[in-house]
């Protein structure tokens, strides 16, 4: 600390950032919680005119598509947390221990989709998955992938994994590079084979990196909107809706119900989900520190 | 150094042919999966409109032509009332102004968190950390009305300020951590010399913080350039559409669009990113890894 005590004058460093953070983040966030108890639509100026209590929540509770959106969000998060992390772990071990000549190039290629906009990625895959698209041409099928109620969510998860796997990969790679080499050398002397080394040494040692990747994917999973919007717009018949796109559909979409209050209550639910995760994370972290 | 370490590790695995073969197969498979969709879209975009459905091995066009790129240009002008160069310009304006605003304010705020005293410091910091995990959609509705109330909806400023409010915590997080890693002796020497706090920040800390600032710029650049939902809802006027919004409109429009024109539009958004990524790839990967590790 430069000064031993608090000086008013130095607040000038903090205030501009704090002002913007409060005005465009904290205050709207808290307002959103309040707004979920009001009924208003896109054209009103006084939002707080019509207090409806928990009507908005009852409305979404009774809406079958809300439950589909909730289920899909959890499915999406599950895919991101377990499948994506798992594949990234496998790839990073293969690249790191595989003695590849062009390992930097390989990493760059797998990483590249991360810097693309989800909109571009969604549009690339949309044409591939269409009925007259190249996937059907390769497989010799005539199947409309994105109109399949049972498959559509898994396809969205696949596309999302395709885009973000390189992100988890480079984080794992950083973890592998800081691994303790002596343990591996010791196991070599003891005559351990490659699978023993991977499953009993490398993966357990990478556990903190795995947790980090899972948390990043968990938070990212709740954010997913662009890819759903571009690939399916929540269709067919709302069967690939996630919470974020459901919120958009209820409050902004052309041809939607245009009920902002209901949208705000969906935001409330997302807020609660994230808060629960944040608390769970703190509890887990404390327990990890204790051990 | 990196390569050295790797070959050390690799030696212990080299003796196993099974591992060697499996790793080759799996990596090759994933490389193909990653590259194929992008190459395929590129291939579609450079076919002549007549032969767009015919190609050897799905990738090599029968007839090369840049006609699709012209078509995409005019399609956007006609249907969206905004041209591709204009969308680019809009994206560049939004990205550069929000990134510079966020970086500037974060530097000052991070300095006050790391080197100055003020009441409620750690609780405020915890609120900021917590806000990083919030999805942007939670703020969508109240921000929409707030921006209407301020009279800046449908202007660049709407999105710039929304991005700033949302991303300032990340900037502060990364820069504070970095400022605190700078040895305190350096600051102390400055204090003894009688520098003011502003001089300490600009003369001592900032020159050392260049890598952290570069990390921030990369992270914020990607977040703002690729952002979609705020840009779509807060800037509905076609002339100020960003690249992502225009592209999404082209890609999901109900009008018929030639698959070549469609692919050309997508490639227009991908190619500049590919060029920038190829030049700065080490920075991108290091920046995103560092950004993640600071969480």
C-alpha pair distances (Å), B222 with each of A174, B219, B233, B246: 21, 5, 19, 18
Report ipTM for this prediction: 0.90
If you average pLDDT over residues A50-76, what whole number do you get? 91
Decide if pLDDT at A119 tops 80: yes
Contacting residues of A for B146, CB less than 8 Å apart: 23-24, 27-28, 31
Q: Based on the fold, state whether residues B38 and B136 are members of the same structural domain.
A: no
Tell me if chain A has a CB within 8 Å of the CB of B143.
Answer: yes
Decide if pLDDT at B15 tops 70: no
Q: Residue A221: which of A80, A84, A115 has the closest Cα?
A: A80
pLDDT at B294: 62
Distance CA A113, CA B273 (A): 10
Decide if pLDDT at B225 tops 80: yes
pLDDT at B81: 85
If you average pLDDT over residues A181-204, what whole number do you get? 83
- Going by the DSSP 8-state scheme, the letter that residue B238 receives in this structure is G
Q: Residue A65: which of A189, A151, A178, A149 has the closest Cα?
A: A149
Q: Based on the fold, state whether residues B91 and B130 are members of the same structural domain.
A: yes
If you average pLDDT over residues A14-29, what whole number do you get? 95
Q: Based on the fold, state whether residues B44 and B190 are members of the same structural domain.
A: no
What confidence category does residue A15 fall into, taking pLDDT thresholds of 50, 70 and 90? very high
Q: Based on the fold, state whether residues B94 and B171 are members of the same structural domain.
A: yes
Decide if pLDDT at A16 tops 50: yes
If you average pLDDT over residues A32-50, what whole number do you get? 83
> pLDDT over 70 for what percent of chain B?
94
**A-contacting residues in B 167-226 (Cβ below 8 Å):** 168-169, 172, 187, 191, 197, 200-201, 222, 225-226
The reported pTM is: 0.91
Contacting residues of A for B188, CB less than 8 Å apart: none
**Chain A with chain B: Cβ pairs closer than 8 A:** 302
What confidence category does residue B7 fall into, taking pLDDT thresholds of 50, 70 and 90? very low
Q: Phi and psi at residue B63, in whole multiples of 5°?
A: -140, 120
Question: Is the separation of the CB atoms in B68 and B260 below 8 Å?
Answer: yes
**A-contacting residues in B 31-90 (Cβ below 8 Å):** 31, 33-35, 37-38, 40-41, 44, 58
pLDDT at B1: 38
Question: Is the separation of the CB atoms in B47 and B63 below 8 Å?
Answer: yes
Candidates B40, B168, B187; nearest CB to A20: B168
Q: Mutate which of B20, B26, B37, B275 to disrupt the A interface (most A C-beta within 10 Å)?
A: B37
Q: Based on the fold, state whether residues B58 and B108 are members of the same structural domain.
A: no
Parent domain of B21:
14-65
Would residue B35 count as lying in a domain? yes
Q: Based on the fold, state whether residues B46 and B146 are members of the same structural domain.
A: no
Please tell me which residue, A21 or A50, carries the higher pLDDT value: A21
Q: Based on the fold, state whether residues B35 and B172 are members of the same structural domain.
A: no
pLDDT at B98: 96
If you average pLDDT over residues B168-193, what whole number do you get? 89
The per-residue pLDDT of chain B, averaged, comes to: 88
Range in A61-65, A131-135, B92-96 the model is least confident about = A131-135
What confidence category does residue A165 fall into, taking pLDDT thresholds of 50, 70 and 90? very high
Q: Based on the fold, state whether residues B56 and B87 are members of the same structural domain.
A: no
pLDDT at B3: 45
The per-residue pLDDT of chain A, averaged, comes to: 89
Please tell me which residue, A68 or B193, carries the higher pLDDT value: A68
Please state the domain count of chain B.
2
Distance CA B141, CA A40 (A): 11
Kindly report, residue by residue over A93-111, the tens digit of the pLDDT. Answer: 999 988 888 889 999 999 9
Q: Based on the fold, state whether residues B236 and B119 are members of the same structural domain.
A: yes
Nearest chain B residue to A105 by CA distance is: B281
Q: Which helix (H) or strand (E) holds B55?
A: strand B55-56
* Subunit contact A194:B139, Cβ cutoff 8 A: no
Would residue B75 count as lying in a domain? no
If you average pLDDT over residues B2-27, what whole number do you get? 70
Contacting residues of A for B141, CB less than 8 Å apart: 32, 35, 251, 260, 263-264, 267
Would residue B77 count as lying in a domain? no
Decide if pLDDT at B5 tops 70: no
Distance CA A230, CA A248 (A): 13
- Output the CA angle B249-B96-B286, nearest 5 degrees: 95
Contacting residues of B for A201, CB less than 8 Å apart: none
Q: Mutate which of B23, B217, B245 to disrupt the A interface (most A C-beta within 10 Å)?
A: B23
What torsion do the CA atoms of A14, A17, A23, A29 make, to the nearest 10 degrees? Answer: -100
What confidence category does residue A47 fall into, taking pLDDT thresholds of 50, 70 and 90? confident
Contacting residues of A for B244, CB less than 8 Å apart: 117, 119-120, 226
What confidence category does residue B295 fall into, taking pLDDT thresholds of 50, 70 and 90? low
pLDDT at A278: 82
Strand partners, B56: B60
Decide if pLDDT at A179 tops 90: no
Please give the structure tokens belonging to residue B24: 């080759």
Contacting residues of A for B287, CB less than 8 Å apart: none
Would residue B118 count as lying in a domain? yes
Decide if pLDDT at B9 tops 60: no
Candidates A95, A119, A166; nearest CB to B244: A119
* Subunit contact B6:A174, Cβ cutoff 8 A: no
Which of B31, B65, B99 marks a domain boundary? B65
CB-count burial class (<10 Å; 0-12, 13-18, 19+) for A181:
exposed
Kindly report, residue by residue over A225-262, the tens digit of the pLDDT. Answer: 999 999 998 878 889 999 999 999 988 888 778 888 89
What CATH number does the domain containing B104 carry?
Answer: 1.10.3720.10
* Residues across chain A: 291
Candidates B33, B197, B228; nearest CB to A226: B228
- Output the CA angle B244-A74-B252, nearest 5 degrees: 25
Nearest chain A residue to B101 by CA distance is: A17
- In order of their start, the domains of chain A are 52-290 (1.10.3720.10)
Q: Based on the fold, state whether residues B36 and B175 are members of the same structural domain.
A: no
What confidence category does residue A71 fall into, taking pLDDT thresholds of 50, 70 and 90? very high
Q: Based on the fold, state whether residues B112 and B170 are members of the same structural domain.
A: yes
> pLDDT over 90 for what percent of chain B?
51
Would residue B73 count as lying in a domain? no
If you average pLDDT over residues B3-7, what whole number do you get? 46
Please tell me which residue, B53 or A102, carries the higher pLDDT value: A102
What confidence category does residue B243 fall into, taking pLDDT thresholds of 50, 70 and 90? very high
Contacting residues of A for B233, CB less than 8 Å apart: 252
Would residue B256 count as lying in a domain? yes
Distance CA A232, CA B119 (A): 49
Would residue B7 count as lying in a domain? no
Nearest chain B residue to A43 by CA distance is: B145
* Subunit contact B228:A116, Cβ cutoff 8 A: no
Range in A30-34, A74-78, B106-110 the model is least confident about = A30-34
Decide if pLDDT at A83 tops 50: yes
Decide if pLDDT at A124 tops 80: yes
Tell me if chain A has a CB within 8 Å of the CB of B152.
Answer: no
Would residue B257 count as lying in a domain? yes
Strand partners, A103: none
Candidates A21, A110, A243; nearest CB to B168: A21
pLDDT at B2: 44
Q: Based on the fold, state whether residues B37 and B159 are members of the same structural domain.
A: no
Tell me if chain A has a CB within 8 Å of the CB of B18.
Answer: yes
Question: Is the separation of the CB atoms in A77 and A151 below 8 Å?
Answer: no
């Amino acid at each position: 600390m430069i000064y031993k005590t608090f000086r008013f004058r130095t607040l000038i460093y903090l205030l501009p950032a704090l002002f913007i953070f409060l005005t465009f983040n904290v205050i709207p966030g808290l307002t959103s919680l309040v707004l979920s108890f009001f009924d208003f639509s896109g054209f009103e100026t006084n939002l707080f005119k019509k207090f409806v209590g928990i009507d908005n929540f009852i409305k979404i509770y009774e809406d079958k598509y809300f439950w589909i959106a909730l289920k899909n969000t959890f499915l999406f998060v599950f895919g991101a947390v377990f499948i994506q992390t798992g594949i990234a772990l496998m790839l990073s071990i293969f690249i790191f221990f595989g003695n590849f000549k062009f390992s930097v190039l390989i990493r760059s290629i797998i990483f590249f989709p991360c810097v693309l906009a989800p909109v571009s990625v969604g549009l690339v895959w949309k044409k591939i998955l269409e009925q007259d698209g190249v996937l059907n041409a390769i497989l010799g099928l005539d199947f409309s992938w994105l109109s399949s109620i049972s498959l559509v969510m898994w396809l969205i998860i696949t596309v999302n994994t395709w885009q973000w796997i390189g992100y988890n990969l480079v984080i794992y790679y950083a973890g592998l590079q800081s691994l303790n080499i002596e343990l591996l050398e010791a196991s070599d002397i003891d005559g351990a084979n490659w699978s023993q080394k991977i499953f009993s040494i490398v993966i357990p040692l990478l556990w903190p990196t795995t947790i980090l990747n899972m948390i990043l994917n968990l938070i990212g999973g709740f954010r997913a909107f662009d890819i759903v919007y571009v690939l399916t717009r929540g269709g067919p018949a709302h069967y690939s809706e996630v919470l974020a796109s459901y919120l958009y559909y209820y409050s902004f979409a052309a041809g939607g119900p245009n009920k902002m209050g209901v949208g705000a209550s969906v935001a409330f639910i997302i807020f609660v989900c994230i808060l629960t995760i944040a608390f769970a994370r703190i509890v887990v972290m404390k327990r990890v520190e204790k051990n | 150094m990196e390569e050295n370490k790797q070959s050390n590790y690799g030696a212990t695995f080299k003796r196993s042919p099974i591992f060697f073969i499996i790793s080759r197969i799996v990596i090759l498979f994933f490389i193909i999966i990653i590259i194929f969709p992008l190459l395929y879209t590129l291939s579609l975009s450079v076919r002549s409109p007549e032969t767009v459905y015919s190609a050897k091995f799905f990738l090599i066009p029968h007839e090369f032509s840049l006609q699709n790129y012209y078509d995409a240009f005019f399609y956007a002008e006609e249907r969206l009332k905004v041209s591709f160069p204009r969308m680019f310009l809009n994206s560049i304006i939004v990205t550069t102004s929000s990134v510079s605003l966020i970086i500037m304010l974060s530097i000052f705020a991070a300095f006050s968190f790391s080197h100055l005293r003020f009441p409620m410091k750690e609780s405020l910091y915890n609120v900021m950390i917590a806000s990083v995990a919030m999805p942007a959609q939670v703020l969508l509705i109240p921000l929409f009305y707030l921006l209407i109330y301020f009279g800046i909806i449908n202007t660049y400023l709407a999105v710039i300020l929304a991005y700033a409010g949302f991303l300032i915590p990340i900037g502060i997080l990364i820069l504070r951590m970095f400022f605190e890693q700078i040895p305190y002796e350096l600051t102390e020497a400055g204090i003894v010399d009688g520098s003011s706090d502003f001089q300490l920040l600009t003369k001592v800390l900032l020159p050392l913080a260049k890598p952290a600032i570069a990390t921030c710029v990369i992270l914020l650049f990607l977040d703002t350039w690729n952002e979609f939902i705020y840009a779509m809802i807060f800037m509905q006027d076609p002339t100020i559409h960003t690249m992502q919004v225009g592209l999404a409109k082209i890609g999901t429009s109900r009008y018929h669009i030639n698959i070549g024109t469609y692919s050309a539009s997508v490639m227009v958004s991908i190619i500049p990113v590919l060029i920038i990524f190829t030049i700065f790839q080490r920075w991108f990967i290091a920046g995103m890894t560092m950004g993640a590790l600071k969480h």
